[in-house]
Structures are given as C-alpha cells and as structure tokens.
Amino acid sequence: MTDTDGEALKRRAAALLEEDRDRVHRRTDRFFAALLIGQWVCAIALAAIYSPYAWEGKTRAIHVHVYAAILLGGVINALPIFLAWARPGAAVTRYVIASAQMLWSALLIHLMGGRIETHFHVFGSLAFLSFYRDWKVIIPATVVVAGDHFVRGMLWPESVYGIANPEWWRFLEHAFWVVFEDTFLLLACFAISRDMEQRALVQAEVEAIGQREQKKSAALDVALQQLRTSQETLVRTEKLAAVGQLAASVGHELRNPLFAIRNANTFVTKRLDGNADPKVTQFLQLMERELGVCSKIIADLLDFARERAPNAQPCPLRPLVDEAISLVPASKVKVVNAIPEDLPVPSLDKDQFRQIIINLVQNAVEAMPAERGGEVKVVAEGGGDKPWRISVVDDGPGMPSDVIERVFEPLFTTKTKGTGLGLAIVSNMVKAHRGVIRVDSSLGRGSRFDIELPAT
C-alpha cells in the first residue's frame, strides 16, 4: 500500500467514523426526546396521584407540585425536544438534552418529597447519557448536578444535606460520587469510541479491498473482451484470407474469359454498326455495361487480395487527384479538387493512392441522393515537419453510427450494387503507407474521411 493509499484509507475511515457517530447521536437524540416526554407524563401523573391538593382546613386547591410538573416539566422539555427535532445530531443538542435530563432529576426529587430512592435518577440518567458514546456529554450533566447542589447548598442546605450549617465543601462530597460514576462512564465512552474507530478502519479496509477487487475484475473483463475480439478478428481474417485467395484465384481465372467476351462483344457491335435490329443493339450495350461491372468486381477482388507493398515515390497530389476524379463516372455531383497548388510533394505509391482517391470520391458520389446534386471536395495539408492529411468531404446524407463502426469491414456495404470492398481496400492501402484513416459523419450533415500519413 502506498502513502497515498494509506492517507485515503484514513480519510475514508474518518468519514465512516463520523457517519457512525452521527447515526448514534441522532438515534440517541430521538431516544432522549421520547424519554423526556415519558418523564413529563410520569411526573404529571405522579403529582396528580401523590400530591393532588394542598389543603387549608377544609378548603383544597390544586397542589403546586401539579403545576410544577406541568409547567416546569414542560419548560425543561421544550428546548431539548425542539433541538432534537431541529438540530438532531448536533453537539449543542446533546449538551442541552444532558442538562435537561439532570434538571429532571432535580424536579422529580422535589415532586417525590426528597425521597432518597429518587436520587438514583441522577445516576441512571448519567448512565443513559453514555448511550451517546460521547464523553463530553457527561460534563454538562455533571455541571448541572454539581451546580444544583452548590446553589441549594448555599441557599437551602437542609434540602440537600439535611443539616442547617454544612461545611462549605459538602457539595464537593456529593459531586464526588457523581464524578465517581462519571469516571467509569468516561472510560466506557473512550473504550466504545476506540471500538468505533477500529470498526470504521476495518470497514474502510474492506471497502478498499472490494474496490481493488472490482478494478481487477473490470480489467479482467476488458482483457477477456479484447481476447474475444482478437479471436473473432483472427477467425474473420482467416476466413477473409481464404475467401480472398479463392476470389483472387477465381478472379484471375475469370479475367481472361471475360476479356475475350468483351473483345467479342466489341467486335460484334462494330460489325453490326447500326444495321442490326434495335433490340439486338440494346442487348449488346447491356452486355457491355454488365461486363464492365464484372471487370470492376474482379479488379476490386484482386486489389484486396494482393495487398502489394507500396512503392513510395515523390508524387504531386493535385494532379493525382485530378486524374482520379477524371476516372470517376460523371454525375450530377460536383467533385472539387481543393488541394493547394503550392502543397509540398509527398512520397507515396501513385497507383495505390489514385485508387484510394477514386474509391473515396466514388463512394461519396454514390452516397448522394439521386434526386439532388451535391459536392464532394478533396482537400490536403501538411508537408515539412507536419504530417499529411488528405480529406474527402461530402455534404451527403451522412451515416448512422452502426454503419460508421463497420464501414471499413470487407464485404460490408449498404449499396444494392456494391462489393463492399472499396473502403476495405482504402483502409488496407492507407495502413500499408503507415497511415490511419478516420471517418466523421452524422446523419443529414455529410461525411468526412481523413487520411493521416506520417511526415516525410
């Protein structure tokens, strides 16, 4: 465990201790509020039963004890019960409660005619106050008892000591027995407090261990997820490699027959030269178009399967982009080459990068809704110490997040007529240039493909 961990543990233990103490204080406040009310009710009942009337011959009147029980008892209770409700758990609340509890001892002793048995209320109350587990609470309680004895000892000594002229230190003797009990209560409070501290520390340690285990578990989950993803990627890559080899083999085998068919088709078209039935001419044009699609599919398959290492050479970007744009079939979409004239010349594989630009631009153009035009812009920056950034930006419909996640996956396509290899080829070629490609797109706001290449 580091010093920082140790400090954090101590802070957590202190917070837990504080919470525990607050809970105990609030609970004990409620307990004493109930006890104070109970004592009040008992005192009224006691006065009403024990000394209901004061007599003057045959005339009777409600005894002062009854009024004292109702009014003085009510006054004693008013503030502590109010504070127990308004400021539960506060130190001042328990000090006032402690004082009130000891004042109840004095009142009950009065109401019970000074019976010696009632004096045990003092010692019982002190014991109850230790429920707070706060040694400081014992102090105001003791001060009230000692103060009561001191003042009454001065003004009305018989009521306390039973003699008219006691020694000046007699109140100390009474206070001593209270302090005698206090000593054990204080020791008990300290012991309980130490136990609470120890418990808070143990709880903090348990929490810390739990958190560490949780972190380990989370890391393990992440590792497992990565492993699972890697396994899936590996399986997919192996499958793709197998499919790629097969596709390359098939494509290679199909290329020559296709070439022959196209030549034958061209020859037949030229020989007929407009003299054939219009239906025949229409079918010949259809054959030529579909043969072109087949050639494109085979070319894509072969490009994806080959993964040729780039042959990097200085290659001006602007003319390369112009060339690529010229190879994209014309449409309503405006394609803009916004690469600065004075952009430094990067070093890259011209053929591969032409293919990259063609694929990205064509992808953007095909994504545009047929009913409206749009704009696709190719921009670039970098050179010198700065890395290269070539971006293809369109104002098309954009892509949802689930499409963005899979957009570079081989064979993934959202088009009705697509191989799903165009962007996968782009991604492979960019990686071969030690670059990265990112896509930023949102529905209705277009898409942006950024290729970043290291500075040359």
Partner 1 sequence: MEEAIENGVAAPRLSRGLVAILIAAWMLVVCGSFVMLWRYKSTPGAAGAKSDWPHASHLARSEDRATLVLFAHPYCPCTRASLEQLSRIMARVGGRVDAKVLFSEIADEDPKTSELWKKVEAIPGLVPLVDRDGMEAAAFGAKTSGHVVLFDRSGRGLYSGGITSARGHEGDNPGAQRVVALIATGVADRDTAPIFGCALKDD
Single residue of 15, 34, 78, 154 touching partner 1 by CB under 8 A: 78
Backbone phi, psi, residue 113, to 5°: 70, 30
The Cα 101–Cα 109 span in angstroms is 13
Single residue of 7, 22, 159, 187 touching partner 1 by CB under 8 A: 159
Tell me whether residue 159 or residue 263 sits nearer to partner 1 (CB atom).
Answer: 159
User: Contact between 120 and partner 1 (CB under 8 A)?
Assistant: no
Backbone phi, psi, residue 137, to 5°: -65, -30
Options 33-41, 62-70, 327-335, 420-428: segment touching partner 1 (CB under 8 A): 62-70
Q: Go through the chain and tell me how many residues it has.
A: 456
The Cα 185–Cα 142 span in angstroms is 12
What is the pattern of x (binds partner 1, CB under 8 A) and - over residues 27-56? Answer: -----------------------xxxxxxx
Is the Cα dihedral 329, 335, 341, 342 positive or negative? negative
The answer to whether 233 touches 41, Cβ cutoff 8 Å, is no
Q: By rule CB under 8 A, what count of residues binds partner 1?
A: 46
Tell me whether residue 100 or residue 429 sits nearer to partner 1 (CB atom).
Answer: 100
User: Contact between 86 and partner 1 (CB under 8 A)?
Assistant: yes
User: Contact between 75 and partner 1 (CB under 8 A)?
Assistant: yes
β-bridge partners, 450: 391, 438
User: Contact between 106 and partner 1 (CB under 8 A)?
Assistant: yes
Distance of CA 172 to the CA centre of its chain: 62
Tell me whether residue 96 or residue 425 sits nearer to partner 1 (CB atom).
Answer: 96
Token pair, residue 398, equals 């954009």
Single residue of 12, 21, 25, 65 touching partner 1 by CB under 8 A: 65
Burial of 144 (0-12, 13-18, 19+ CB in 10 A): buried
The minimum distance between CB 79 and partner 1, in angstroms, equals 4
Options 100-108, 347-355, 369-377, 445-453: segment touching partner 1 (CB under 8 A): 100-108
Token pair, residue 438, equals 């990112």
User: Contact between 115 and partner 1 (CB under 8 A)?
Assistant: yes
Tell me whether residue 63 or residue 433 sits nearer to partner 1 (CB atom).
Answer: 63
Single residue of 14, 20, 48, 87 touching partner 1 by CB under 8 A: 87
Single residue of 88, 344, 418, 420 touching partner 1 by CB under 8 A: 88
Tell me whether residue 166 or residue 420 sits nearer to partner 1 (CB atom).
Answer: 166
H or E element, residue 386: strand 386-394
Single residue of 1, 2, 4, 116 touching partner 1 by CB under 8 A: 116
Measured between alpha carbons, how far is residue 340 from residues 109, 380, 384, 388, 390 in Å? Answer: 103, 8, 15, 13, 12
Tell me whether residue 51 or residue 337 sits nearer to partner 1 (CB atom).
Answer: 51
The Cα 187–Cα 194 span in angstroms is 11
CA-based nearest residue to 358, from 387, 373, 337, 388: 337
Tell me whether residue 147 or residue 316 sits nearer to partner 1 (CB atom).
Answer: 147
Options 67-75, 223-231, 284-292, 302-310: segment touching partner 1 (CB under 8 A): 67-75
User: Contact between 60 and partner 1 (CB under 8 A)?
Assistant: yes
The answer to whether 363 touches 389, Cβ cutoff 8 Å, is no
Tell me whether residue 146 or residue 321 sits nearer to partner 1 (CB atom).
Answer: 146
Tell me whether residue 110 or residue 133 sits nearer to partner 1 (CB atom).
Answer: 110
The Cα 104–Cα 433 span in angstroms is 91
Buried/exposed code over 364-387 (b: 16+ C-beta within 10 A; e: otherwise): bbbbbeeeeebebbbbbebbeeee
Options 2-10, 70-78, 352-360, 362-370: segment touching partner 1 (CB under 8 A): 70-78
User: Contact between 163 and partner 1 (CB under 8 A)?
Assistant: yes
Buried/exposed code over 315-345 (b: 16+ C-beta within 10 A; e: otherwise): bebbebbeebbeebeeeebebebebeeebbe
- Look at residue 15 and give its three-state secondary structure: helix
The Cα 444–Cα 262 span in angstroms is 41
Tell me whether residue 159 or residue 233 sits nearer to partner 1 (CB atom).
Answer: 159
User: Contact between 121 and partner 1 (CB under 8 A)?
Assistant: no
User: Contact between 370 and partner 1 (CB under 8 A)?
Assistant: no
The minimum distance between CB 214 and partner 1, in angstroms, equals 33
Contacting residues toward partner 1, per CB under 8 A: 50-60, 63-65, 68, 71-72, 75-76, 78-79, 82-83, 85-88, 92, 96, 103, 106-107, 110, 113-116, 152, 155-156, 158-159, 161-164
